[in-house]
Structure 1
Amino acid sequence: MVVAAGSGLLGDGARLVDVAGGHTLAGDELATTVRAEAETLGALPPGVLFARTSVDLRSVVRYLGAFEAGRAIALIDPALDADVLAELVRRFRPAAVLAAPEGEAPAGYTLGDGDWLRTSAEGVTPHPDLAVLLPTSGSTGNPKLVRLARTAVLTNAGAIAEVLGIDGDEVAPTSLPLHYSYGLSVLNSHLIRGATVVVEPSGVLGRGFWDAVEAHKCTSLAGVPYHYEMLRRLKFSPEKYPSLRTLTQAGGKLRDDLVTEFNDKIRAVGGRMFVMYGQTEAAPRMATVPAEHLTAKLGSAGPPLPGGEFTVRRDDGEETTHPKITGEIVYRGPNVMMGYAENEAELAHGDDLGGTLATGDLGYLDEDGFLFITGRLKRIGKVFGNRVSLDDLEQAVRSSGVGIDVVAAVAAGDKVVLFAEKVGKDVCKAASRALSERLHLHTSGFDVRPIDTVPLLASGKIDYRTLEAEV
């Protein structure tokens, strides 16, 4: 069943296994620890809490404590560029920046126990429904914050748990960053059903991760397309890990041949694979392909989660559920965000969207109500599951100092291709490295290619469609 609003995130029997510390929090100890954290955070001045969130027990307890205390908390990538963090702090004036970076606190803040604490007691009190905020983009541009209500987080966690069959016997490792909506949803959907989460920071490509999977008998693995590409190269076999019986994939479209390959592998050992679709703005899951339909519906994003609904908005603005009509995908459900916030004052706003999200994705529904995604309306790409602004990437290349003045970026599956005008291959490689360092993502996610002349439309704007055809 879907969990009702007003419940907490900790279901009966929930456990946190801290691999680094060699300790497990469960039962009364877990509840007491979270309650103590809630009291500490509840005593801070009014305002949103910023938390630089790593994959560690401290970050998880802090998040759960804020949720318990009813304090709106923004989960921030600890690798976020210092200037981007500084701008966010200026715009939102958080009551505190928890696990702050080393160095002096900015103006208006003091340093205490590793946190930046706002010196002024005056601050905007966030809307009482607001629980979690996540930035819309990584280390580029001027990110907005997605405002997620407590109800949205809880209902989505319950709906995911329902379709994946999560119960108290499940053991999920932290294969994804917790400040990333997919990683956070794995945490939420397991804890809410009283399952176990194994907190291990090295990730899917780390030896320590697989040691933890084996030692703690993890039952599931969550990955974005890049992870599955790498696991294929590493010749991953679920037979090596007998407890592992569920694979989930989200964060971008995985190639159909890889879906088939990994589905075949996990089914061969009696397991299941689920392909999912979502956005941070939907807290974050909207659809899941049931494991038993994955082969028959290859390429689909699945039907909506319980409580959700898809329609397709045609060019004339009308919405339809008629099969095979392509248009912008519109989602309705209790997990839709309250809206965006670009400054402190907007944290106090209520629900601006009324449960309706225009996704910016193009697609259609089939006769069984399964969603198929065909493209995007907006200039947003994904690099290994991380949403990035293509316009911001272009600006980042131009300002990187490598000698590129004219550049055009287009999405290409789980990477971005950037066409750089009148430069050599060495300059392109330097640009790829610059983007990798700025966004803290592998260079293979940025394919910078030389081009004689970037094509233009009659208006003088870049002809992106022509470039997309070259990818």
Structure 2
Amino acid sequence: MTLLAPGARLVDAESGTVLDGAALMTEVERQADALAALPDGVLFARTAVDSASVLRYLAAVEASRAVALIDPKLDVPLLTMLMERYRPAAVLDAPAAEPPAGYRAADGHWLRLDPDGIRPHPDLAVLLPTSGSTGNPKLVRLSRKAILTNAHAIADVLGIDEREVAPTTLPLHYAYGLSVLNSHLISGATVVVERDGILGRGFWDTVAAHECTSVAGVPYHYEMLRKLKFDPAANPGVHTLTQAGGRMRPELVAEFDTLMRSAGGRLFVMYGQTEAAPRMSIMPWDRLAEKIGSVGPALPGGRFAVRRADGGDTTHPKITGEIIYRGPNVMMGYAENAAQLALGDECDGVLPTGDIGYLDEEGFLFITGRLKRIGKVFGNRINLDDLEHATRATGLGIDIVAAVPADDKVVLYAEGATAETCKAASQALSDRLHLHASGFDVRPIDTIPLLASGKIDYQTLADGI
């Protein structure tokens, strides 16, 4: 099995270069031969949104070399720390700096001097970080089977075929961005490598010029598109929008669903985690309006259950608990050092997601929060996701908000809000939850910081308190 179907095309929007068919496969095989000759060990690939990074990734998969996709913005000290922990055979597209001890620079890469290294498990294909460019550096171990079966399942449900053209809208070292690439190339479709992303100045010009048919985004992208008064009629070739990367507020889902339907298009709301390679469910677009808030049924080959308070799992409708997913796309496990790269499958296809939710009578999943997104206000436990939703529901015009715990209160950052609006929001939350307003410290902020994935960077906000 391969990630490249015969008709797959890769288009570089900046240079206009097109690689397709035999030419694309020939280039991937040429690079695969070079990677196969490197010493044993995982490969670190600094993966930008460019054609060179895409080709390196495809070559690593083709050569059956386990590859960790690394944010190219990762600073050298943190990259060095990861290298000490995992002892990669090489750092591809290395920084313009002196390599650390035990490595030498060659042809733009850092190569390990010691030819002996820990050989990764033969099933291991891709490693992705669990937390952006900062925080816990452990890696998610994804097998070749997980990557390929998930790409096929996504393509099947979304109806991706050789006629589809998708621009890159997200980092390729982020699971959602990588899954867009995988699901299109494995279907013989076209991927347009566009460096600036949805909010870039020339993005929609690229979409029009290359006749793109779909666009993928995270909730923040849709919040910004709403502010920019996105009009699907202005982009008639785009018949599909997809959303993942966190729970999007139901009002925004309904708004974009109506927008797309009015233009003859469709919106797919999806649910996934890096640990599931990454998609677990896709909401059928034609049922979205009747089930706003749902992320749909499990993808083909997968299934959901809910873990009850007594520890048992159930598929009985309306019972709320931790969501458990089972499927062939579940990770092999985590790796926190080089030795763990050689381990086999430790998960047996079972993933406790850490998300809280319930199933309805048809098996459609509704997510209501996170197990660990909890704060305390005067000793009272409060779900931070629910608190963000309550802030948006105050009617004060706060659409983009991020809540972080702080001692015995919660700090909420409201993007673009005034001091007066923040004070009113604190009081509104106090009235709703019957706790003193001082427990809800709502602060104005020009722009909420984001990770490269487009998700809110809660750690940076917490560090700034």
Q: TM-score range by the shorter chain?
A: 0.7 to 0.9
Say which is worse superposed, 410-419 or 265-274, in terms of deviation.
410-419
**Which of the residues 359, 365, 382 maps onto 1:371?**
365
Say which is worse superposed, 428-437 or 344-353, in terms of deviation.
428-437
Residue in structure 2 matched with residue 357 of structure 1 by the alignment: 351
CA deviation map 1:302-361 (0-9, x unaligned)? 100000000111011111100001111100000000000000000000000100001111
Shift of 1:87: 1.2
User: Residue 81 and residue 430 in structure 1: after superposition, are their counterparts in 2 closer, same or farther (change >3 A)?
Assistant: farther
User: Residue 449 and residue 141 in structure 1: after superposition, are their counterparts in 2 closer, same or farther (change >3 A)?
Assistant: closer
Residue in structure 1 matched with residue 34 of structure 2 by the alignment: 40
CA deviation map 1:365-393 (0-9, x unaligned)? 0001000111111359xxxxxxxxx9xxx
User: Residue 430 and residue 442 in structure 1: after superposition, are their counterparts in 2 closer, same or farther (change >3 A)?
Assistant: farther
1:225 equivalent in alignment to 2:219: yes
Report if aligned partners of 1:287, 1:304 keep a CA contact under 8 Å in 2. yes
State the secondary structure of the residue aligned to 2:111.
strand
Report if aligned partners of 1:433, 1:443 keep a CA contact under 8 Å in 2. no
Cα distance in 1 for residues equivalent to 2:463 and 2:107: 49
User: Residue 332 and residue 444 in structure 1: after superposition, are their counterparts in 2 closer, same or farther (change >3 A)?
Assistant: closer
Report if aligned partners of 1:51, 1:73 keep a CA contact under 8 Å in 2. yes
**Which of the residues 102, 117, 124 maps onto 1:123?**
117
User: Residue 22 and residue 297 in structure 1: after superposition, are their counterparts in 2 closer, same or farther (change >3 A)?
Assistant: same
Residue in structure 2 matched with residue 272 of structure 1 by the alignment: 266
Q: Output aligned runs, 1:186-335, within 5 Å.
A: 186-335=180-329
Residue in structure 2 matched with residue 92 of structure 1 by the alignment: 86
State the secondary structure of the residue aligned to 2:291.
coil
Cα distance in 2 for residues equivalent to 1:435 and 1:244: 29
User: Residue 223 and residue 434 in structure 1: after superposition, are their counterparts in 2 closer, same or farther (change >3 A)?
Assistant: closer
Cα distance in 2 for residues equivalent to 1:163 and 1:59: 27
State the secondary structure of the residue aligned to 2:295.
coil
Residue in structure 2 matched with residue 66 of structure 1 by the alignment: 60
Residue in structure 1 matched with residue 379 of structure 2 by the alignment: none
State the secondary structure of the residue aligned to 1:132.
strand
Letter in 2 for 1:61: L
Report if aligned partners of 2:43, 2:91 keep a CA contact under 8 Å in 1. yes
**Which of the residues 404, 409, 417 maps onto 1:418?**
404
1:146 equivalent in alignment to 2:154: no
**Which of the residues 164, 180, 199 maps onto 2:174?**
180
Structure 1 gap ranges (5+): 1-6, 381-389, 391-407, 455-471
Say which is worse superposed, 439-448 or 317-326, in terms of deviation.
439-448
State the secondary structure of the residue aligned to 1:254.
coil
User: Residue 449 and residue 318 in structure 1: after superposition, are their counterparts in 2 closer, same or farther (change >3 A)?
Assistant: closer
CA deviation map 1:75-105 (0-9, x unaligned)? 0111123332121111000000111111100
User: Residue 254 and residue 68 in structure 1: after superposition, are their counterparts in 2 closer, same or farther (change >3 A)?
Assistant: same
Shift of 1:293: 0.7
Cα distance in 1 for residues equivalent to 2:299 and 2:72: 31
1:13 equivalent in alignment to 2:31: no
RMSD (Å) for aligned C-alpha atoms:
3.0
Cα distance in 2 for residues equivalent to 1:442 and 1:131: 25
State the secondary structure of the residue aligned to 1:90.
helix
Say which is worse superposed, 329-338 or 139-148, in terms of deviation.
139-148
Cα distance in 2 for residues equivalent to 1:100 and 1:430: 40
User: Residue 66 and residue 361 in structure 1: after superposition, are their counterparts in 2 closer, same or farther (change >3 A)?
Assistant: same
Letter in 1 for 2:295: A
Letter in 1 for 2:268: F
Residue in structure 1 matched with residue 18 of structure 2 by the alignment: 24
CA deviation map 1:405-454 (0-9, x unaligned)? xxx9955478642355799x99x9999899949x5699986696999xx9
Report if aligned partners of 1:76, 1:179 keep a CA contact under 8 Å in 2. yes
State the secondary structure of the residue aligned to 1:265.
helix
1:157 equivalent in alignment to 2:151: yes
Cα distance in 2 for residues equivalent to 1:76 and 1:129: 20
Shift of 1:268: 1.2
**Which of the residues 146, 162, 166 maps onto 2:160?**
166
State the secondary structure of the residue aligned to 1:276.
strand
Percent identity (aligned)? 63
Letter in 2 for 1:373: I
Cα distance in 2 for residues equivalent to 1:410 and 1:224: 19
Query: Aligned pair count?
Result: 417
User: Residue 227 and residue 435 in structure 1: after superposition, are their counterparts in 2 closer, same or farther (change >3 A)?
Assistant: closer
Letter in 2 for 1:275: V
Report if aligned partners of 1:14, 1:194 keep a CA contact under 8 Å in 2. yes
Report if aligned partners of 1:409, 1:419 keep a CA contact under 8 Å in 2. no
Report if aligned partners of 2:130, 2:136 keep a CA contact under 8 Å in 1. no
Residue in structure 2 matched with residue 346 of structure 1 by the alignment: 340
Letter in 1 for 2:30: A
For normalisation by structure 2, the TM-score amounts to 0.84
Residue in structure 1 matched with residue 435 of structure 2 by the alignment: none
Residue in structure 1 matched with residue 422 of structure 2 by the alignment: none
Letter in 1 for 2:48: S
Cα distance in 2 for residues equivalent to 1:179 and 1:307: 25
1:53 equivalent in alignment to 2:47: yes
State the secondary structure of the residue aligned to 1:35.
helix
CA deviation map 1:112-151 (0-9, x unaligned)? 1211110100100000000000011112223210000000
Report if aligned partners of 1:415, 1:445 keep a CA contact under 8 Å in 2. no
Report if aligned partners of 1:97, 1:117 keep a CA contact under 8 Å in 2. yes
User: Residue 350 and residue 371 in structure 1: after superposition, are their counterparts in 2 closer, same or farther (change >3 A)?
Assistant: same
Report if aligned partners of 2:319, 2:358 keep a CA contact under 8 Å in 1. yes
Letter in 2 for 1:247: L
User: Residue 305 and residue 83 in structure 1: after superposition, are their counterparts in 2 closer, same or farther (change >3 A)?
Assistant: same
CA deviation map 1:199-240 (0-9, x unaligned)? 010000112211110000000000000000000111111111
Cα distance in 1 for residues equivalent to 2:13 and 2:442: 38
Report if aligned partners of 1:16, 1:197 keep a CA contact under 8 Å in 2. yes
